[in-house]
Amino acid sequence: MNIFILGGGVFGTAIGNQLSNNPMNKVVLLIRNNAQEIEINEHNTNKRYFPNKKLNKSLSATTEKEELLKAEVIFIVIPSKKIVKALENIREFIPKEALIVNLSKGIFKKGVTIVEYLKKELSTNNVVTMKGPTFSSEMINNAHSIFTLGFKTKDHYTKIEQVIYGTNIHIDYTTDVIGVELLSVLKNVYAILIGIIDAKYNSPNTRFMILTKSFSEIRTLLKELGGKEDSLFLSCGFGDFGITSLNDLSRNRTLGLLIGKGFYKAEYKRNKVVLEGLKTIKVINELLPVETKKRLPLFSKLESFFSNRDLKSFDIHFDSLIDKKMKTVLTYGTFDLLHYGHLEILRRAKELGDRLVVGISTDEFNKIKGKKCQISYQKRKEFLEAVDYVDLVIPESEWEQKEQDIKNNEIDIFVMGDDWEGKFDDLKEYCEVIYLPRTIGISTTKLKSILHNNL
């Protein structure tokens, strides 16, 4: 199989060398430096990155962009900030049927992932992502390494299996492509934080306290930005976060160690590792709703530090960053003909706190309101109790009970749809009141009308 690696740097060389262990692969590094091309092809070395390592003789290099026309698989292994310019130079030589594999880590403005960008710019759906807990210095020495393959079709999976056959590269997999892309970015942010903690405290107890809280925040961010929670438990999630946060080969952890020891200076912002981290934090921060940021004290601390709104030193106040009061959320509804709109408002309500209490109108109360339900109170209650977001279901028998329900259940946040905007502001005396936007284009009334017209 004809494989091209875009990038002859440390990681591109390492993975190209490993893939060339498969005798069915013809692996070529596409690079810009003629001297580097000669060195790889004639001496089987790339001494700038691996001064004491001989590369596989079957691994070759070229500076000729036209060679890409032969490619069946193209691995993107260049810094994210260089991808836009690189594509401008080679776009016309990339075959439409070639499989593009993104190994680069980064995120563009408005939260656009590299895979999304590549699909749009190359007008192709043949783009997958591979991310995992791997250091190039390990891979070049044939250490067994794992990646998560984020893909969409069986053909993509099959082709990657063929590419890695006979190598020391292994894969787990998911169709959550955006989740794989996001996790490769999010783990770098929190690796900086773990480095700071280790430098300042040198305590396993404190390290793993922050590690646990960081993992929880990554989960929140992943879901908020469109990834799937299950991806956290693949190599792109837990594995990559672990190796990046706890191993001194990690550049982001090293940056954290510098900050924690007090060696961080303003001029470090010109450092490429710092620049990547700053860009990532800024982009993510701009995407987050205010309510979500409130649940991310560690992320907010880093964002405040790097944007110069914080003190010069990175001080940790554990009471405010770690300790938190459990928040209970309360909402009400009829929840007849349970549908996606209901699930969305329940999900968003639950994400505002730790425990969700749902009051549903009894059959008797519905008669008072003049509302006719298709499903009885008991069945509606059973449906809601089966939803993961819901912790407790209580009956709503009268309009006036809300104040007492708030007191009885120690409610911190009262939530309703924005069609009730302002109508429950009197409850602000007892708890926070939030009105959430309804899911556009769907309602119980509309569903009933559709069902009626089709009978």
Residue owning tokens 């990690």? 250
Token pair for 188: 């770098």
Question: Helix %, strand %, coil % for the chain, to 5?
Answer: 50, 15, 35
Catalytic residue among 272, 369, 379, 428: 369
Residues 133-148 as b/e (b if ≥16 CB within 10 A, e otherwise) read bbbbebbbeeeebbbb
Distances in Å between the Cα of 258 and the Cα atoms of 204, 253, 389, 433 are: 19, 9, 41, 43
What's 238's DSSP letter?
I
Q: How far apart (Å, rounded) are the C-alpha atoms in residues 249 and 143?
A: 15
Q: How far apart (Å, rounded) are the C-alpha atoms in residues 352 and 172?
A: 32
Based on the residue annotation, tell me whether 371 is a catalytic residue of this protein. yes
Catalytic residue among 54, 269, 294, 371: 371
Nearest to 60 by CA among 82, 44, 80: 44
Token pair for 445: 């009334």
Which strands form 392-396's sheet, in the order they lie side by side?
A: 392-396, 355-361, 328-333, 413-417, 432-436
Q: How far apart (Å, rounded) are the C-alpha atoms in residues 173 and 175?
A: 7
Nearest to 317 by CA among 335, 332, 300, 341: 300
Based on the residue annotation, tell me whether 47 is a catalytic residue of this protein. no
Residues marked active site are found at 369, 371
